[in-house]
Amino acid sequence: MSAPHLKLPHAVSRLRTERLARSAKPFLARGGIKGERCPGCRLVPSHCICELRPEVPTPVGMCLLMADIEPLKPSNTGWLIADVVPDTFAFGWTRTEVDPALLALLADPQWQAFVVFPDEFVAPERVVHAVPTLSKNLPSAQRPLFILLDATWPEARKMFRKSPYLNCLPVLSLAPDQVSRYQLRRSKRDDHFCTSEVASLCLELAGEPHAADTLQAYLDVYTHHYLQAKHQLPPDLLGVAHAHWRALKLA
């Protein structure tokens, strides 16, 4: 059996490689650590979490539409979704072009796609607040595919408005009763969640609580290692994030 860090590159990793190939100059993350990073988890090697990388079997799919530099940011959490959810797809977004592979994915009859976006910006007839859960007795049922706009909030609003190929799809509006715990890039609003948190909420709605909990715990561990490395401190393997992770893995 292959070690976790030897798994094939996932969709976000491949998109990052493609984006780097088009770059005229190296990408430097603002305020982050400079120097070597693990290619598998984007952390400095001393804080690598590749051995913890989970992959949870789930019929749910995730489709990330990523703003131009999102795949390059070490703090991007779409990468974590692709680590956990096997059927994760990632596409770079531009206003003038659309990847034919994205259109093919949206047309694939095995999927029922939902654009995840706040209902305050959407015509009421397009909005849904729940998704059908899959039954093992209905193997031919369509699988939910959640389309996540992976960008800053101003960019995401622009992407939503200027992507006509999304106009025919239902819009899933989330109404979580918790606030975001994400610490690496902060929004001014507590009801703005990072992409990984949104994916976890979608998995929960789709009747996949184990995948949802795994993704949230994985985000917490990643966040802890990222911040400890930033402050030049070792990861606390006995701390809250790792304790939750171990409890989840043993459950």
Q: What is the tally of structural domains in the chain?
A: 1
Q: Please say if the pLDDT value at position 183 is more than 70.
A: no
Quote the pLDDT of residue 121: 85
Give domain status of residue 67, yes or no: yes
Please state the rounded mean pLDDT for residues 157-167.
Answer: 95
Q: How far from chain centre, in Å, is Cα 110?
A: 21
Domain that holds residue 78: 54-180+191-211
Confidence of residue 9 (pLDDT cuts 50, 70, 90): confident
pLDDT > 70: percent of the chain: 82
Burial profile 158-188: b = 16 or more Cβ within 10 angstroms, e = fewer: bbbeebeebeebebbbbeeeeebebebeeee
Question: Does residue 68 belong to any structural domain of this protein?
Answer: yes
Q: Answer yes or no: is 203 within a domain.
A: yes
Report the largest interatomic distance among the alpha carbons of the chain, rounded to a whole angstrom: 52
What Cα–Cα distance (Å) separates residue 185 from each residue in 164, 170, 188? 29, 29, 10
pLDDT 10s digits, 34-58: 668 898 999 999 999 999 999 899 9
For residue 135, being part of any structural domain is answered with yes
CA pair distance 40, 143, nearest whole angstrom: 28
CATH number for position 157: 3.40.1280
% of residues, the chain, pLDDT over 90: 65
| Closest residue by Cα to residue 77 from 180, 229, 208 | 180
Assessment of whether the complete model's pTM goes beyond 0.75: yes
- Find the mean pLDDT for residues 136-160: 85
The single-letter code of the amino acid at 137 is N
Q: State mean pLDDT over 92-114.
A: 95
Q: Is 238 contained in some domain?
A: no
Does residue 198 form part of some domain?
A: yes
At 209, the pLDDT band (50, 70, 90 cuts) reads very high
In a domain, 174, yes or no: yes
Banded model confidence at residue 32, pLDDT cuts 50, 70, 90: very low
Cβ 102 vs Cβ 186: under 8 Å: no
The answer to whether position 71 is within a domain reads yes
Assess contact for 191 and 222: CB atoms under 8 A: no
* pLDDT at residue 132, as a whole number: 79
pLDDT at 249: 79
